[in-house]
Chains A and B, each alone.
Chain A
Amino acid sequence: AQSVTQPDIHITVSEGASLELRCNYSYGATPYLFWYVQSPGQGLQLLLKYFSGDTLVQGIKGFEAEFKRSQSSFNLRKPSVHWSDAAEYFCAVGSNYQLIWGAGTKLIIKP
């Protein structure tokens, strides 16, 4: 069965520190992978996506993610977080017609 796992329910990092949010997937075919961010009280916004090609994908707001087929992972990274990055982050894997979502990771920023 297709599934997406985000092992960390919440992560706390200091402002200016680096960030890595983990995402593992189980999917039978070539995955189409996404990271979305949900700021408090807002809808979700696409950060980046991977369909094919270069396995290191650049997104908005200084985020990047790396697709590792051997590890079935698509981890999200940012070299230096800002207080405005505090939000819920969702990983998703796409079949042709719909997305399967992870449970989300809440990012908390310490001043």
Chain B
Amino acid sequence: DTAVSQTPKYLVTQMGNDKSIKCEQNLGHDTMYWYKQDSKKFLKIMFSYNNKELIINETVPNRFSPKSPDKAHLNLHINSLELGDSAVYFCASSQEVGILGVGENTGELFFGEGSRLTVL
């Protein structure tokens, strides 16, 4: 049973299109994240939601819009795709909103397998 699942795993599209990536976690976690991993493997956080509320919104173009219909889902919609958006996008979840929680899994992020977006 996959803990954090993302769809699609691969996405190839043309510049200017709009696309969405979906993420679901069945861990009962309160916090979910979107990360972008570029071609050099550098990981950068984009957004974080806690119980459907946005808590981290890094400097990301407003073409990127996260949506959290419930605490188990965090989707990422991207408008007007550009070449530079090509990357692997990772969804992740954690038990608590901060690193300094008290649970056994404190500070641990659980990642999905990633969605590789290629913009042509």
Which of A's residues lie within 8 Å of B, judged by CB?
Answer: 32, 34, 36, 38, 41-46, 49, 51, 88, 90, 94-99, 101, 103-104, 106
Contact = CB atoms under 8 A, between A and B. Distances in A.
Contacts of A45: 111
Contacts of A101: 42-44
B45 A88 contact: no
Nearest to B114: A43
A103 B38 CA distance: 10
Contact of B107 (A42, A43, A51): A51
Say what secondary structure dominates the interface of chain B: loop
B120 interface: no
Interface in B20-59: 40-45, 48, 55-56
Contacts of B111: 43-45
B72 interface: no
